[in-house]
Amino acid sequence: MNSFFAIVPAAGSGLRFGGKIPKQYQRLADRPLIYHSLATLCRCELVQRVWVVLSPEDDGWRRYDWSALGHKLETLYCGGDSRYDSVRNALRVAATVADDDDWLLVHDAARPCLSPALLLTFCEQLRDDPVGGLLAVPVADTLKRADDDQRVASTEAREKLWQAQTPQMFRYALLARALDEHPGGTDEASAIEAAGFRPRLVNGDSRNLKVTYAADLSLAEMILQTGMRNA
């Protein structure tokens, strides 16, 4: 049986979100936003260890009590300037415990509404896959391509287009090699694709939203407070 490990990169400041407090520490349902993302991973019966990757200059983490998340959580102060750098640095730490065929999940710190049921289903659907994959939802909206004057240049076909979510999960050795050889992607799946592999798309949920702007907090709080994420 292969083991499951998780990485949550959280070294960014959330510039698009704004505010004086880094996005991951914004208050959400009486907890820091990142708490909810970590809690689902820490409570998953399959996941053995969860690494949260912080900036070496992070002075916010120690202001909170994380003890309720249990023994699985480990803090790494090796975050880089980008998600790519943070994940790559964390993989070096993972090398001390992960075998080549073990699973590495990467989950956004700002996706607090991932449901335990969806996480477990995701892991079970991929655990025998030769490559791995990611949560994603089919694109439902009409897509417009803009010109330089911000006018519609064309309408894009949305058939077979999916919106990527997290977690994204790949074998340790494959992910480490892909990131080393193909830097610069916006997510882990991009590096796997550049290495010549085809990640599997696993049906996600629109409630697994990413908090990008301040207005997103209200929707995330509604999902958490009403228990909608467990539906």
Tell me: the pLDDT tens digits for 191-218? 999 999 999 999 999 999 999 988 999 9
Look up the CATH number of the domain holding residue 182.
3.90.550.10
pLDDT-derived band at 227, boundaries 50, 70, 90: confident
pLDDT score recorded for residue 231: 47
Q: Name the domain count of the chain.
A: 1
pLDDT score recorded for residue 1: 83
pLDDT of 228 > 60? The answer is no
Q: Is the CB of residue 156 less than 8 Å from the CB of residue 86?
A: no
Query: When comparing pLDDT for 72 and 14, which is higher?
Result: 72
Residue 167 structural domain: 4-230
Burial of 29 (0-12, 13-18, 19+ CB in 10 A): middle
Minimum mean pLDDT range among 12-21, 94-103, 173-182: 12-21
CB atoms within 10 A of CB 1: 6
- What percent of the chain shows pLDDT beyond 90? 87
pLDDT score recorded for residue 13: 62
Record the pTM: 0.92
Give the tens place of pLDDT for each residue, 171-187: 999 999 999 999 988 99
Mean pLDDT of the chain: 93
pLDDT of 9 > 50? The answer is yes
The two beta strands, 132-138 and 31-32, are unpaired
